[in-house]
Amino acid sequence: MTEPLAPGSTIGILGGGQLGRMLAMAAARLGYRCHIYEPGAAPAADVAAGWTQAPYDDVEALTSFARACDLVTFEFENIPAAALERLTSLVPLFPDRRALEVSQDRLTEKRFLRDIGLATAPFGAVDGPESLGHALSETGMPAILKTRRFGYDGKGQARIADMNEAKTALATFGGAPAIAEGVVPFSIEISVIAARGRDGSVSAYDPGENVHEDGILSTTTVPARIPPGLKTDAVLIASRILNALDYVGVLGVELFVTADGLVVNEIAPRVHNSGHWTQAGCAVDQFEQHIRAIAGWPLGDGSRHADVRMENLIGDDVHRAVALAAEPGVQVHLYGKGEVRAGRKMGHVNRVMR
């Protein structure tokens, strides 16, 4: 194994939200400095050594950011291609661009998953109203129409029961390319968080069971209520994705549990909200695991020493933080965001249950 990144080196993080903040804190524990690149407000910058506040098309800012960093990673997917082009010509990026290209576009992502032999919802490309007929013949009805790019937390998607609804939904996307997906008859949703090191070693955490409210993750509970065979399947699925992408870092895979086994919903090439439980359930949490992977350290083993329920504090939920902190076994994480807004992730708690 090559030497890990030297102590005192600087890790650049594209994106300055809570994921970047928790990555920066983990990096600090391993002796690194972090430099955040974020055009907007940056809770991550409060705990980092540096912050470039500039848009993603500012070539000069990108260049000096890259020069200030020994390697760069990211905490969100929608980084413009031109910015990536510029950065990767100057500094190593982990995980590399391919992971972003696959996950930035739901159609590319589904095709990639299908090509490596994994089960997905039936799907069809929707480039405009004229392709709806063909796409919906692939998916059947009801179906879900999603924008191919820039969708998150259930945004940019609509359930449709017939062609009229499909046309109406598509019109609300304002001409953005879309994908139609068949509705997967799932019993529960789970996710698996896994990491791959620079030497190709893989380590996976136990799958967590996810509950969403209004399209936003509400809770993740480990262990998920699934038989041991499905746990193995989840880990194998994540490993196959990691290897196929020659991936370095932490990846989240969202899965539907169905009567016929696991169906992949989507992949996130980064630390993931449904992996926050690892902060209270594992010796090495997903944030440290990501830093270890990209910096060339040995990976943590991922084994779980406690049952945990993670609950997101969304909008006004944040006002419960102090009361929750008084409960036994509860770990509180606040993201340092100024303004409380409905639907905004303000923090989370990890409740150790056993």
Binding of ligand AMP by 189 (CB under 6 A): yes
Closer Cβ to ligand AMP, 183 or 324, answer by number: 183
- Provide the edge-to-edge strand list for the sheet that holds 10-14: 50-52, 33-37, 10-14, 71-74
Using CB under 6 A, which of the segments 89-97, 182-190, 241-249, 328-336 binds ligand AMP?
182-190
Binding pattern for the stretch 238-277 against ligand AMP, x by CB under 6 A and - elsewhere: ----------------x----------xx-----------
4, 83, 196, 224, 233 from 88: Cα distances, Å = 20, 9, 20, 38, 34
Using CB under 6 A, which of the segments 17-25, 57-65, 176-184, 275-283 binds ligand AMP?
176-184
Binding of ligand AMP by 183 (CB under 6 A): yes
Tell me how crowded residue 272 is: count the other CB atoms within 10 A of its CB.
22
Q: Minimum distance between the CB of residue 84 and ligand AMP, rounded to whole angstroms? A: 23
Position among 134, 167, 212, 319 found at the interface with ligand AMP (CB under 6 A): 212
Measure the CA–CA gap between 267 and 9, rounded to whole angstroms. 29
Binding of ligand AMP by 151 (CB under 6 A): yes
Q: Minimum distance between the CB of residue 218 and ligand AMP, rounded to whole angstroms? A: 11
In the chain, the amino acid numbered 66 is A
Binding of ligand AMP by 29 (CB under 6 A): no
Position among 44, 48, 136, 184 found at the interface with ligand AMP (CB under 6 A): 184
Per DSSP, 37 falls in state E
Per DSSP (E only), the strands in the chain are 10-14, 33-37, 50-52, 71-74, 123-126, 143-147, 157-160, 178-182, 188-196, 202-204, 208-213, 216-222, 249-258, 261-268, 308-314, 330-334, 345-352
Binding of ligand AMP by 154 (CB under 6 A): yes
Q: Minimum distance between the CB of residue 289 and ligand AMP, rounded to whole angstroms? A: 22
Name the β-bridge partners of 256. 189, 263
How many residues sit close enough to ligand AMP to count as binding (CB under 6 A)?
A: 13
Closer Cβ to ligand AMP, 12 or 208, answer by number: 208
Tell me how crowded residue 39 is: count the other CB atoms within 10 A of its CB.
15
Name the β-bridge partners of 349. 311, 332
Closer Cβ to ligand AMP, 202 or 251, answer by number: 251
Using CB under 6 A, which of the segments 42-50, 74-82, 179-187, 287-295 binds ligand AMP?
179-187
Nearest partner of 249 among 268, 228, 264, 224, judged by Cα: 268
Q: Minimum distance between the CB of residue 60 and ligand AMP, rounded to whole angstroms? A: 35
Binding of ligand AMP by 121 (CB under 6 A): yes
Q: Minimum distance between the CB of residue 199 and ligand AMP, rounded to whole angstroms? A: 31
Using CB under 6 A, which of the segments 41-49, 76-84, 88-96, 180-188 binds ligand AMP?
180-188
Residues near 298 by beta carbon (within 8 Å), at least 6 away in sequence: 1, 197, 201, 292
Cβ contact 28:51 at 8 Å: no
Helix (H, G, I), strand (E, B) or coil at 31: coil
Binding of ligand AMP by 23 (CB under 6 A): no
Binding of ligand AMP by 77 (CB under 6 A): no
Residue 66, φ and ψ in degrees, nearest 5:
-60, -40
Q: What share of the chain is helix, strand, coil (3-state, %, to 5)?
A: 35, 30, 40
**Contacts to ligand AMP from residues 275-304, by CB under 6 A:** none
Binding of ligand AMP by 144 (CB under 6 A): yes
Binding of ligand AMP by 317 (CB under 6 A): no
Q: Which residues bind to ligand AMP, rule: CB under 6 A?
A: 121, 144, 151, 154, 181, 183-184, 189, 212, 215, 254, 265-266
